[in-house]
Amino acid sequence: MIGVISIEREYGSGAAGIGKALAERQGWKLWDGEITDAIARHLKCDKHSVEQREERDDSIFYKLIKVFMRGSYEPSMNGQELELLDAENLSRLFEKVITEAADQGNCVIIGRAAPWFLRNRDNVLRVFLYAPYEEKIRRTIAQGKTRREAEHLIDTVDQERAAFIRRYYNKDWPDRSIYHLMLNSAVGDDKVIRLIQAEIATLNEP
């Protein structure tokens, strides 16, 4: 039985809002900002230090970590604490938090390479959301960005996500083989949610 929905996404495809609405309809827990909250608790970090980190140069790894959080919730890690962890250890911390969330069941998990971490679990529905360029621009502007800001984010964030996966997992992003569904969110949030729920019903059939 499907008890976890894991959603990976292109930047600007609306996954945060879709995931939140989906969790509400399912009556399940949403893991989005809650993931970074959990990591902050592990590291004993304050949420406000991310603003200071945005003003300084980061290594490519830490930039990519922020990229994976961007678009739904900003990271809440203290810079000094974060730098104590190398790439491998921080990746393990992401996996630990995500797998613990999945162990609890009845939840929707947004991004953070969760479909990859949960790829071998039979009770997880793995979804990838994408959208045409102008649809992503529209959604990003609706969140308060200018057209120029939206274009920059859409042109760079997914490239950096792909680089992260290639560097630390030696896989392409998105890895189509791990998803049950790849959906174009331009059809509308409600239709995306109903398609996901229909897939759950299908997979839960005896």
For residue range 90-131, what is the model confidence (pLDDT) as tens digits? 567 778 889 999 999 999 999 888 898 999 999 999 999 999
Domain layout of the chain by residue ranges: 4-201
What pLDDT score was predicted for residue 91?
67
Architecture of the 4-201 domain:
3-Layer(aba) Sandwich (3.40)
Least confident of 1-5, 171-175, 184-188: 171-175
Exposed e or buried b for every residue in 36-62, given b needs 16+ CB within 10 A? Answer: bebbbeebebeeebbeebeeeeeeebb
First to last CA, the chain: 9
Whether residue 84 is predicted with pLDDT greater than 60 in this model: the reply is no
Measured distance CA(65)–CA(83) in Å, rounded: 12
Q: How confident is the model at residue 39, as a pLDDT?
A: 63
Distance of CA 118 to the CA centre of its chain: 13
Q: Which of 148, 172, 174, 163 is nearest to 59 (CA)?
A: 163
pTM of the model: 0.79
- Which of 55-64, 135-144, 147-156 is least confident? 55-64
How is residue 156 written in tokens? 């760079």
Structure tokens at 117: 């971490």
- What is the per-residue pLDDT for 127? 98
Rounded percentage of the chain residues whose pLDDT exceeds 90: 54
Mean pLDDT on 10-39 = 89
| CA nearest neighbour of 83 among 107, 113, 117, 52 | 52
Asked if the model's pLDDT at residue 50 lies above 60, the reply is: no
Average pLDDT of span 61-78: 48
pLDDT in tens, 148-180: 999 999 998 888 778 777 776 777 889 899 999
Please report the pLDDT score of residue 205 as a whole number. Answer: 92
